[in-house]
């Protein structure tokens, strides 16, 4: 059995876009927590300057499936004009 995969994604909103970014993330969270292999997918920090999403997946396969899924595609599309810089994804 594989070890869980832990990730942290940091989102830097454009000025004045914090609430729209937060809403887009909240919508995605509702969908993603139902995905197979999702152990944790939650906002762990939310300030005007940045939002941090902490993720844990049961396996690399589950993470790969999630990464190609519609929830991620929809989120990326929603955030395309709202972020000051690309999402920073770090494996913990």
Q: What are the extents of the domains in the chain?
A: 5-91
pLDDT for 87 equals 96
pLDDT, mean of residues 30-56: 97
User: In the prediction, which pLDDT does 1 show?
Assistant: 61
State the pLDDT at residue 2.
Answer: 76
- Rounded Cα distance, 55 and 61, in Å: 14
Give me the residue label for tokens 């000025």: 15
The CATH fold assigned to 5-91 is Alpha-Beta Plaits (3.30.70)
**Checking phi first, is residue 16 left (phi over 0); if not, alpha (psi -120 to 50) or beta?**
left
């Amino acid at each position: 059995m594989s070890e869980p995969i832990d990730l942290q994604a940091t989102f830097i909103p454009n000025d004045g876009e914090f609430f729209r970014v937060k809403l887009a993330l909240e919508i995605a969270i509702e969908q993603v927590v139902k995905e197979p292999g999702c152990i944790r997918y939650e906002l762990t920090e939310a300030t005007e300057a940045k939002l941090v999403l902490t993720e844990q997946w049961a396996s690399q396969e589950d993470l790969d499936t999630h990464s190609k899924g519609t929830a991620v595609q929809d989120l990326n599309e929603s955030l395309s004009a709202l972020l000051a810089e690309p999402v920073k994804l770090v494996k913990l």
